[in-house]
Amino acid sequence: MRIFDPHIHMSSRTTDDYEAMHAAGVRALVEPAFWLGQPRTSVGSFTDYFDALVGWERFRAAQFGIAHHCTIALNPKEANDPRCVEVLDVLPRYLAKDGVVAVGEVGFDSMTVEEEKAFVRQLELAVEFELPAMVHTPHRDKEQGTRRTLELVEQSGLAPGMVVVDHLNEVTVDQVDEAGCWMGFSIYPDTKMDEHRMVAILQRRGLDRVLVNSAADWGRSDPLKTAKTGAAMLDAGFSEDDVDRVLWRNPVEFFGQSGRLMLPADGSGDETADASATFEGNSILRGSRD
Amino acid sequence: MTDVRPLVDDDDLLAALDERGREEWRSLSAQVTDDPGRLDRVFPAAARRTGRGPLDDGVLLEDAVRVGLVRSAAQGLSPDQLLDELRELYRYGDNDEKRAVLHALNGAPDEVDGTDVLLDALRTNDTRLVAAAMGPHSDHLDDDAWRQGVLKCLFTGVPVTAVTGLRARADGQLADMVGRYRREREAAGRDVPTDVQVVLDACAGRAQQQPQQQPQQQKDS
């Protein structure tokens, strides 16, 4: 089973996690820029974080044979802090980089005017930099937040196929599906979705435009939930090819629209970058796969 | 105008690019020649627009392309202006871009002093940056920083072939540091990297050439 985790915050995870993920089949991932748990108080704190996403974390992942990509954005929670909003002016520098495969996480947390302003501005940046957008949906009042998200996406001019609306559940999936956006599901130990509910959604509406992620971070979460969802799919009668489509080909198709993916040369998922990545660059080829 | 040495010859660079890559390369190079200020926009996207991958001797095509762009832009920049541009590219670069900046410094004339950039690279644990920082531009490092750089190569597994001028600059103080590092490895029951002896031999070679040298004269800056 080859796995592309389209949403996982590796900066918060250990090298044990990287080893376990590789053993479970994870060969590529996307780390979205997000809140760190502790609120930031300055733009410099953001740029150091972004530098780590395109620098150290990419190098660290390569040591374990995993291709690391990221998304860059001002997250909705901190869009409410005027000390942080100026980071919007430095985003273009990062959005031009290889391996930056989307603008994100953008969206709503508390549905404020400030959040909407930052969200709209960053959808404009996605259009300008020809990047997909990764949209976080709020934990509270998710249905209304998702509805407003879809209105803003439509107004932005960004094609629905360039947008993934994330952290969906049984209540919010259909409106995103009807809008033509990609549907992201975060499989968690307690909250959000679990793998069996995920399988039920796949059985009901099929595999098109579905991304399954662990969204593992500094909270109670499990970086192997992608693999466990794959196992649950097989148990429910899905084929190996179905699992490959959801856990590898779908994220490759979505993020490949950026033209910035950095995947193993042969597309097998069997990256063995660790030896060469420690010196003289690495063996990961960049560019989208067909 | 400032002259920056290319990482590979122009002919070799063109030969390594496919037709689309060559077209892009000519276009990007012309853009930064006309307006060196465009470097900050052209530099990050250069690899995906032209090409990437290994060339001979461990050189990466994307590094050669980026150094080539710096070389084109430098034709319209004074050494100070070039240094400002390189610092800016490094500050906001991902690690591939940072490595290319270090290679550009390695080909820059002596009056371009990017010591601060090198010291930043040597503080990272990214071995590709550490290796590039110990290239020809490392002759700008003072002796203390240079010795720490060599030791860091041993410590992080960067082959000391990456260190420019090792034989010329290795001294008794470096030999002492490397000797202590070897003892620490041995005490822990761990393998001693073969490069440890390479460095010690280089130190001994220099000591033979300059047997009269006093310890207090070893610091030359």
Task: Identify the domain boundary among B60, B88, B122.
Answer: B122
Domain membership flag for residue B41 = yes
Provide the CA B153 distance to its chain's centre, in angstroms. 13
Q: Give yes or no: residues B118 and B25 share one domain.
A: yes
Task: With beta carbons under 8 A apart, name residues in chain A contacting B46.
Answer: none
pLDDT digits (tens, 9 = 90+) for A192-238: 789 999 999 999 999 999 999 999 999 999 999 999 999 999 999 99
A285 close contact with B: CB closer than 8 A: yes
User: From CA A165, how far away is CA A133, in angstroms rounded?
Assistant: 8
Residues 69-108, chain A: which have Cβ within 8 Å of B?
93-94, 96-99
| Contact state of B128 with A94 under an 8 Å Cβ cutoff | no
Q: Give yes or no: residues B69 and B154 share one domain.
A: no
Helix (H) or strand (E) holding B31: helix B19-34
Burial (0-12, 13-18, 19+ Cβ within 10 Å), B192: middle
| Contact state of B41 with A96 under an 8 Å Cβ cutoff | yes
The tokens for B103 are: 């290679």
β-bridge partners, A5: A29
Could you tell me whether strands A262-263 and A285-286 are parallel, antiparallel, or unpaired per DSSP bridges? antiparallel
**Mean pLDDT over all residues of chain B?**
92
Domain membership flag for residue A280 = no
| Longest CA span, chain B | 59
Mean pLDDT of A175-188: 97
Q: Give yes or no: residues B153 and B112 share one domain.
A: no
Query: Considering its fold, how many domains does chain A have in total?
Result: 1
Task: With beta carbons under 8 A apart, name residues in chain A contacting B54.
Answer: 280-281
Q: Give yes or no: residues B64 and B163 share one domain.
A: no
Task: Map residue B131 onto helix, strand or coil.
Answer: helix
Domain membership flag for residue A279 = no
With CA atoms as reference, report the closest residue to A133 among A118, A143, A113. A118
Per the model's pLDDT, the better-predicted residue between B215 and A155 turns out to be: A155
Q: Give yes or no: residues B113 and B165 share one domain.
A: no
Mean pLDDT of B47-61: 91
Residue among B40, B53, B128 whose CB faces A279 most closely: B128
| Longest CA span, chain A | 51
Task: Bin A14: left if φ > 0, else alpha if -120 < ψ < 50, else beta.
Answer: beta
**Mean pLDDT over all residues of chain A?**
91
Domain membership flag for residue B185 = yes
CATH number, residue A23:
3.20.20.140
Burial (0-12, 13-18, 19+ Cβ within 10 Å), A94: buried
Q: Give yes or no: residues B98 and B165 share one domain.
A: no
Q: Strands, DSSP E only, in A128-177?
A: 133-136, 163-165
Distance (Å) from the C-alpha of residue A68 to the closest C-alpha of chain B? 13
Query: Considering its fold, how many domains does chain B have in total?
Result: 2
Q: Are A67 and A284 in contact (CB under 8 A)?
A: yes
Per the structure, the complete domain to which residue B199 belongs is given by 142-221
pLDDT digits (tens, 9 = 90+) for B100-132: 999 999 999 999 999 999 999 999 999 999 999
Q: Strands, DSSP E only, in A73-168?
A: 100-107, 133-136, 163-165
Q: Are A29 and A69 in contact (CB under 8 A)?
A: yes
The tokens for B67 are: 């150094």
Is pLDDT above 50 for A111?
A: yes
Q: Strands, DSSP E only, in chain A?
A: 3-5, 26-32, 67-72, 100-107, 133-136, 163-165, 182-186, 210-213, 262-263, 285-286
- Please provide the DSSP assignment of B143-175 as one string: HHHHHHHHHHHHHHT--GGGSTTHHHH--HHHH
Mean pLDDT of A90-105: 95
A281 close contact with B: CB closer than 8 A: yes
User: From CA B66, how far away is CA B107, in angstroms rounded?
Assistant: 12
Residue among A278, A279, A286 whose CB faces B47 most closely: A286
Q: Give yes or no: residues B43 and B91 share one domain.
A: yes
Q: Give yes or no: residues B118 and B173 share one domain.
A: no
Domain membership flag for residue B131 = no
Q: Are B126 and B100 in contact (CB under 8 A)?
A: no
- For chains A and B, what is the number of CB pairs under 8 angstroms? 62
Task: With beta carbons under 8 A apart, name residues in chain B contacting A15.
Answer: none
Task: With beta carbons under 8 A apart, name residues in chain B contacting A281.
Answer: 54, 60, 62-63, 96, 99, 128
Task: Identify the domain boundary among B91, B122, B153.
Answer: B122
| Contact state of B157 with A278 under an 8 Å Cβ cutoff | yes
| Contact state of B126 with A259 under an 8 Å Cβ cutoff | no
Domain membership flag for residue B132 = no
A68 close contact with B: CB closer than 8 A: no
Rg (Cα) of chain B, in Å, rounded?
19
Domain membership flag for residue B136 = no
Domain membership flag for residue A286 = no
β-bridge partners, A211: A184
Give the amino acid at B165.
G
Percent of chain B residues topping a pLDDT of 90: 90
Q: Which residues of B touch A (CB under 8 A)?
A: 40-41, 44-45, 47-48, 52-54, 58, 60, 62-63, 92, 94-99, 124-128, 131, 157-159
Q: Give yes or no: residues B118 and B152 share one domain.
A: no
The tokens for A61 are: 């992942």
pLDDT digits (tens, 9 = 90+) for B11-48: 999 999 999 999 999 999 999 999 999 998 899 999 99
| Contact state of A279 with B127 under an 8 Å Cβ cutoff | yes
Distance (Å) from the C-alpha of residue A119 to the closest C-alpha of chain B? 24
Per the structure, the complete domain to which residue A231 belongs is given by 3-263
Domain membership flag for residue A23 = yes
Domain membership flag for residue A242 = yes
| Contact state of A55 with B94 under an 8 Å Cβ cutoff | yes
Distance (Å) from the C-alpha of residue B125 to the closest C-alpha of chain A? 8
| Contact state of B94 with A97 under an 8 Å Cβ cutoff | yes
Domain membership flag for residue B133 = no
The tokens for A91 are: 């985003």
Residue B209: band (very low, low, confident or very high) from pLDDT cuts 50, 70, 90: low
Domain membership flag for residue A104 = yes
A19 upstream amide cis, omega within 30 of 0 = no
> CA end-to-end span of chain A, whole Å?
20
Task: Map residue A147 onto helix, strand or coil.
Answer: helix
Q: Tell which of A31, A90, A97 to mutate to test the B interface (max B CBs under 10 Å).
A: A97
| Contact state of B99 with A281 under an 8 Å Cβ cutoff | yes
Domain membership flag for residue A282 = no
The reported pLDDT for the residue numbered B58 is 84
With CA atoms as reference, report the closest residue to A51 among B116, B166, B95. B95
**Which positions ≥6 away from A48 have C-beta within 8 Å?**
none
Is pLDDT above 50 for B215?
A: no
The tokens for A74 are: 């001002």
